[in-house]
Amino acid sequence: MSILIAQQQAFAYFTRNKPVPLDPPGDDWRQQLLERAQLEIGKPYAGPIIGEPDHFRWGNPGWDCSSYVSGMAAAEFGRGTTAYTDDAWNQCLDVAAPQIMDVAFYEYHDPSQPNTRFPHMGFWLNDRQTLDCRFPRSVGCGIHPHVNGAIVRVRSLEGFRPVYGWRANQVAPALSLPEAATRPAHVLGMWPHVADALVQLGIMDYWTSVAALATVRTEVYYHLQPVREGITEAKANADYGPGTTRGQQLGNTQPGDGWRFRGGGWIQQTGRNNYARLASFTGVDLLSDPDRILEPAISAMGVALYFRDNGIPALANAGRWTDVRRAVNGWVPVPNGLSHFLGYVDRLRAIP
């Protein structure tokens, strides 16, 4: 398959009938991308030039700046940026500090591209060089800024990299609502942790991952950070205190347990029994310090442990999505957040 076709079709990393890969791409993905991109050094600049067909800029005979970045990303990840600089800028993620094989965007005024903010782009190598394809030369290492007055801005391709089968650039829209947009960076702050925990407990598959992503988004806010239940101390003790039926079911035995062990983490685990179970499994003393449930590794294990102990993988693989929600929120006819949860499931399933 040509790089152009791969870029246009953005072939799926897995399908409904293919298990989610058990291992994410290694930390050396930047080196792998660099090695792939270096193989193109010396190929000529091939467009866009008047009179040349568009396909000339897709590696045969050469590239232009945006098709080079897009093509290398598509070849490495199965999906790349749009081969237009300003669109690619919007598809890449902000970075705190540039790293090798992030994408450098050159901001300057080009009279031949009057409405383009970034007339040029390439792979960032260091604070002086990019690996890119420049008019009228070829693929190679360039010194920036290559135009007087250019500003070099850097963003990351992380959103395109499949992590346990899911790309943050695709997952984020599926978990968004009109009034609350989840960002790819939010997904990357959550999904690798939860996926690692699902793998550790041996319950990772496509349908369980759909259930986990949709559950976390239903339980917490659009930014997908672990949180404690948003109720007052008085309300928590009134709902979950040791003198209440619900509190007794949750194992709350001491005054104040309702507040101490209110919902927490990515799945909003509640009650002394659930905290003690997670503490025993992780070796972290959550009974003395319940707020540690907000630590990503602990919160993620809370999701995986709850899923395993409550048969959620089997429910998800059977397509019993309402029961998946009931298993998390309570076995009632219409659990809280059901409509949103089902919407997230449907949008996740629609990702190719």
Domain limit, last residue, from 160, 187, 209: 160
Residue 190: give the domain boundaries: 168-349
Same domain, 197 and 142: no
38 with 126, same domain: the answer is: yes
Answer yes or no: do 22 and 129 share one domain.
yes
What are the two backbone dihedrals, phi and then psi, of residue 280, each rounded to the nearest 5 degrees? -65, -40
Q: Which of 98, 125, 160 is the last residue of a domain?
A: 160
pTM (global) more than 0.75: yes
**Do 121 and 196 share a domain, yes or no?**
no
Say whether both 47 and 127 belong to one domain.
yes
Domain C-terminal end among 131, 160, 189: 160
Q: Domains in the chain: how many in total?
A: 2
Q: Answer yes or no: do 149 and 176 share one domain.
A: no
For position 340, which CATH number holds?
1.10.530.10
Q: Give yes or no: residues 153 and 177 share one domain.
A: no
- pLDDT of 296 reads 96
Residue by residue, what is the 3-state secondary structure of the chain? CCHHHHHHHCCCCCCCCCCCCCCCCCCCHHHHHHHHHHCCCCCEECCCCCCCCHHHHECCCCECHHHHHHHHHHHHHCCCCCCCHHHHHHHCEECCCCCCCCEEEEECCCCCCCCCCCCEEEEECCCCEEEEECCCCEEEEEECCCCCCCEEEEEECHHHCCECCECHHHHHHHCCECCECCCHHHHHHHHHHHHHHHHHCCCCCHHHHHHHHHHHHHHCCCCCCCEECCCCHHHHHHHHCCCCHHHHHCCCCCCCHHHHCCCEECCCECCHHHHHHHHHHHCCCCCCCHHHHHCHHHHHHHHHHHHHHCCHHHHHHCCCHHHHHHHHHCCCCCCCCHHHHHHHHHHHHCCC
Instruction: Let me know whether 211 and 149 are in one domain.
Output: no
> Do 152 and 173 reside in the same domain of the chain?
no
Query: pLDDT value at position 295?
Result: 97
Going residue by residue through the chain, which has 352 residues, state the pLDDT in tens, using 9 for 90 and above: 333 333 333 223 223 344 455 555 566 889 999 999 999 999 998 876 666 677 788 888 899 999 999 999 999 998 999 999 999 999 999 999 999 999 999 999 888 888 999 999 999 999 888 999 988 888 887 766 566 678 999 999 999 999 999 999 999 999 999 999 999 999 999 999 999 999 999 999 999 999 999 999 999 999 999 999 999 999 999 999 999 999 999 999 999 999 999 999 999 999 999 999 999 999 999 999 999 999 999 999 999 999 999 999 999 999 999 999 999 998 888 999 999 999 999 999 999 8
Q: Using an 8 Å Cβ cutoff, are 286 and 298 in contact?
A: yes
CATH number at residue 120: 3.90.1720.10
